[in-house]
Amino acid sequence: MGTSQGTLLLLGATSDIGGEVAARMCPGRDVVLALRDVRRGEAVEKRLRDAGAAHVRLVEFEATDLDSHREVIEAAGEVTTAIVAFGVLGDQELAERDEREAARIATVDYLAQINALTVLASTMSRGEIFAFSSIAGWRARRANYVYGSTKAGLDAFCQGLADRLHGSGLKLITARPGFVIGTMTEGMRPAVMSVTPDVVADAVVRAAGGKGSATVWVPGRLRVLAAIMRLVPRPIWRRMPR
């Protein structure tokens, strides 16, 4: 059961992690699934209905259309749980020679994220917002620095937003997972301390049951690896794989 009643809004309905979080929090609630191609949301819609959602509605959502975010969010009703789960991994090699790919990654994974989060924080009066950072943003690697830089910026934004929301009826749960085995990383070799979407969902939903905003490393022991990452000399670090 969700920690607060009202509408659950999932921005990026085809996200593996977003779907897992929604499935855990949707029983008895109205759900709005926002995604670029509504036809691709039918499987998620069925899953949430089977999980106990009272009503599920699919709406079109283009993350890069920043001006549309407020309209989509306000049309969802009284949102008390928002899951900001859209994103792309992008093509690092292409981004190194094509500025359009670098800009696309930055737009989806940073600019659109803070745009949506700002609208949500200004329109929601209670409940919880879920945002997804990454270990990739802790210290950008040569192998995926475009994506990593967006996560670094998003994480910094979320820390400030959480402080802004302190003492209000609205909290921000920011996930810092390691490598997540799922659709986005299909075909890639899992890294150390890899997790699956359900593990990330369990961690953030548990954190949402607390009193205020929280930042959650997934798995928890990833915090130790992150501390070590800061100490690795740069000549060695630049040779690190994704």
Catalytic residue (choose from 147, 157, 179, 217): 147
What tokens does 227 get? 């501390």
Distance CA 134, CA 178 (A): 6
The Cβ of residue 209 has, within 10 Å, a number of other Cβ atoms equal to 10
* 147 included as an active-site residue: yes
The phi, psi pair for 35, rounded to 5°, reads: -160, 165
Q: What Cα–Cα distance (Å) separates residue 18 from each residue in 93, 98, 130, 195, 225?
A: 27, 30, 9, 15, 25
CB-side neighbour CA atoms (13 Å) of 39: 0
For residue 98, the 8-state DSSP code is -
Strand order of the sheet with strand 30-35? 55-60, 30-35, 7-11, 79-84, 127-132, 170-177, 214-218
Please report where in the chains the tokens 């699956």 appear, as a residue: 196
- Helix-, strand-, coil-residue percentages of the chain, each rounded to 5: 50, 20, 35
| Per-residue tokens: 118 | 């700002």
Catalytic residues: 147
